[in-house]
Amino acid sequence: MRFYFHPDADAEFDKVMAYYEERQPGLGIEFAEEVYATIARIIAYPRAWMSMSKHTRRCLVNRFPFGVIYQVKSDMLRIIAVADLHRRPGYWRDRV
């Protein structure tokens, strides 16, 4: 299964990675590795994670307070958000 980021999710991911890298060198890379490990888990078990709506699910990122919000469409995984769990819930819904 292939995956792609919604443009806003891609920008969000880059912003958070830069924030962590600024806080501590190497932490941004560690964050990115954890997000990609989360995506790999989703690809392996796309229907295993918490349902957020009829077609949208969330898988939590290890070590960081983030979740990957996604949809599966045939053989494609669409990343809707790399969501900060402390941010207003559902802020990403207009991306669906």
How does pLDDT run along the chain (96 residues), one tens digit per residue? 899 999 999 999 999 999 999 999 999 999 999 999 999 999 999 999 989 888 999 999 999 999 999 999 888 999 999 999 987 878 888 888
Q: Tell me if 82 sits within 8 A of 12, measured CB to CB.
A: yes
Q: pLDDT at position 13, please? A: 97
Q: pLDDT at position 78, please? A: 97
Q: pLDDT at position 26, please? A: 97
Q: pLDDT at position 67, please? A: 96
The structural domains of the chain, with segments of one domain joined by +, span: 2-85
Q: Which fold has domain 2-85?
A: YaeB-like fold (3.30.2310)
Long-range contacts formed by 67-76: CB under 8 A, 24+ apart:
68/35, 68/38, 68/39, 68/42, 69/9, 70/3, 70/42, 71/96, 72/1, 72/46, 72/47, 75/1, 75/2, 76/1, 76/2, 76/3, 76/4
